[in-house]
Structure 1
Amino acid sequence: MTADVENVIDETSAKAGRRKWPSWMRLPSFKFCCVTTLLVCLAYLVWIIMDAQYQQTVFVMRYSTGLLQLDPSPAMVGTGMWDMMWDGVRSWDSLGPRLLLFYLLAIVAVLSSLLMLVQFAHRATIRGMLMVVLVLSVWLSLWVSYDQLNEWAALRRVNIALPRFEAVAKSLSQQWPTENGTLPEAGQFYADPAKRPNLLLLRGREGYPAHEDFGFIIERSDLGAIRFELSGAIGCNIEFHPDGSRPTSYSTRLSGSKATMREAIPLKEHWYLVRYGG
């Protein structure tokens, strides 16, 4: 009889101890943490595929946090190109919401992954181990395939945007501008025929659209090739090459720095997506 009474008292005390914590203060369940982490992975995957500015967002995040150090050329600083680029980037209307989303997703991913491991360590099961392996495998796959995924997504967006670049190239091939003006598809531009006769600096772009768009620079080679910098894909050009011209490494007209060709992907006759490194 005494033992039964003590058991009832112990059970009542245990229930009372559990009730003293509000529900909102309890740790989320193991399953909830796993699902949340997988959803964040899916969000990053969709973002990489659908948004041309994902690479730019990561680039600015690394630069603003000190993970990436940049040394601009004197030519870019002297022409005001460097300030023009970073003034646009610092604007909240351009990449601000994307940076905020990136940080929020990263925080959620880290917290949910840590809580998942804590919950698993507290109560390890075969099913739980399989879930942990699945989640970690998804993260690892996303990390390992990041470059290939970016390149595939960039190629997809470039093929969609190609007709706009063709229209501008047709106009420029007929008559290269010798003064400031406007290109119907690309917007306003600066021209300096005295110092840089084969270089145009675009200035009319507002914001960072999710689709691929014109970057800041359009330049012409001595053989008549026209290179378009892209707004999203870093280190990539869409290039038009007439007969007798092929994609190759070159020195940029603006800064004189060497652009080393890494890969040239044919899009159609005379047109290439060219990736540069170095």
Structure 2
Amino acid sequence: MTTEAILLVGRGAARTRTVLKTHAERLERRTGTTVRVATYEHEPVHELRDPLARIDAERVYAVPVRVAHTYETLDDLPAALSTIASDVRYCEPIGRSPAITDLIVERATALQPATPDVSLVLVGFGSSAKPYYRQMAAYHAARIDEGSDYGEVVACYLHQNPTVECVRYTIENDSAVAVPLFLTHTTATTEAIPAKLELDRGGIAYAEPFGDHPRVTDAIHAEVAKQRALTDGDRGDTSSGTFETRLTETRRPIATDGEGLVE
């Protein structure tokens, strides 16, 4: 029988490692599969090469615990994962998951119940060059708009139009709740977004990032299960794999030295 491991990869320091360890412990209890955590701060190829090489499993399901693809998840991280001497199945970022929709609604309704006179604002990082944050936010906005009683559901971004600093002046209601589409707190969630939303003026409640909530674990588990199903169906033919899996087949590291952390 093929030995398997699940690898959760995230960007960040102590706060991110703590959150990922919580998800890893839950996932290991659920699946009975060894779950490892790897984090980097700047350069995945440099920081993760040696620790990833120590992973001992014939097949590795690698989950980028991010809400959407970035340059790193499309290029640097697949290059780093290519150094693992195993069959690596690279999963999609967890942002576009029904479990995350549920979590957004839970975060929002805990602060402002869903009524027609309340607006729900989804705040993403955004990218002017890549569509993934917009696609992720639009997915959740459409599902929540259809399934909740909020008067309107809008998305805005730090680095993309429509920008977060304009949303206060474009929403239809005087009362709103904003949910940051981030895994953990960063300077973006603690400084930039509150300042741009002008939270000190009142009228907009501000929720916590997703953090170690069990619904995030559900989203991770779903991505692994999806890759397992695809793997069982392809009978070893990696050419039939997903877009993410093919990334690990085509991206290769340029640098070869580095340090990282696996727990």
Q: Same fold (TM over 0.5)?
A: no
Higher fraction of helix: 1
TM-score (norm 2): 0.25
- Rg: which structure is higher? 1
TM-score (norm 1): 0.24
